[in-house]
Amino acid sequence: MTVRVLLADDQALLRQAFRTLLATADDITVVGEAADGREAVSLTRELRPDVVVMDIRMPGVDGLTATSEICADPELQASRILILTTYETDEYVAQALRAGASGFIGKGIGAADLLGAVRTIADGETLLSPAATRALVARFLATPDDAPPHLPEQLDVLTPREREMVALVATGLSNQEIAEQVFLSPFTVRAHVQRAMTKLQARDRAQLVVIAYQTGLARGADRLP
């Protein structure tokens, strides 16, 4: 299956660079480009891409507003948003996740990582870069009352392997990276992570990270890579 991608960034040079990079993959094709959030929403409705690679800071309608509008439209549920930005701050990460983004990565990542991120998002997974995970954890640690408490005994529903997966997710590793570290297939890792999310009633990967810190399974943002 070919992943159809829409690029949304106000800098034409960056859009061209991303298009050229994505064109190196046989399973990814760029179907359109948007220079601002309003155009991104319009083209998403018109082209129905699998993944929208969305910048945050754009003139007029910004990327977060566009993400919220796309994710709120039931007819666009098949189009998933990958935030690609220079600004991996706690506020932006939190806003992007609330808006419905499926992934949050920085523009400083390498070519292979970007291709992997697009494939991960298209495959229905949630992806947070280590920097975005640090920002999310820092925000949670600074305002622990924003979320209901999770007690250590809640982890009793997990198998030892599922606990291990949740702890690794909390470091910001992708399923592929976890698979390489524990010598399992990415599909097996994904299955363990999804079962853990179901058992812990976590709506997404970001909430799984927060639960890991609230229960003490992961300790301290300084342990993140």
pTM: 0.71
**CA dist 58 to 9, 36, 62, 131, 146, Å?**
7, 5, 5, 22, 29
What CATH number has the domain spanning 146-223? Answer: 3.40.50.2300
Q: What is the CA 147 to chain-centroid distance, rounded?
A: 20
Which residues, 6+ apart, have CB-to-CB distance to 30 below 8 Å?
A: 5, 6, 7, 18, 19, 22, 23
Q: What is the pLDDT of residue 225?
A: 45
Q: What is the pLDDT of residue 103?
A: 84
Q: What is the pLDDT of residue 199?
A: 94
Q: What is the DSSP letter of 79?
A: -
Beta strands in 35-146, from DSSP E residues, in sequence order: 51-54, 80-85, 103-106, 127-128
CATH of the domain spanning 3-124, picked from 3.40.50.2300, 3.40.50.720, 3.30.505.10, 3.40.50.9100: 3.40.50.2300
pLDDT tens sequence for the chain (225 residues): 899 999 999 999 999 999 999 999 999 999 999 999 999 999 999 999 999 999 999 999 999 999 999 999 999 989 999 998 887 676 787 788 778 888 888 888 888 889 988 998 888 777 777 677 667 666 665 555 555 556 678 899 999 999 999 999 888 788 888 999 999 998 999 999 999 989 998 867 777 887 887 788 876 444 444
Q: What is the pLDDT of residue 223?
A: 44
Numbered ranges of CATH 3.40.50.2300 in the chain: 3-124, 146-223
E strand or H helix at 29: strand 28-34
Q: What is the pLDDT of residue 224?
A: 44
Nearest CA among 99, 90, 160 for reference residue 131: 90
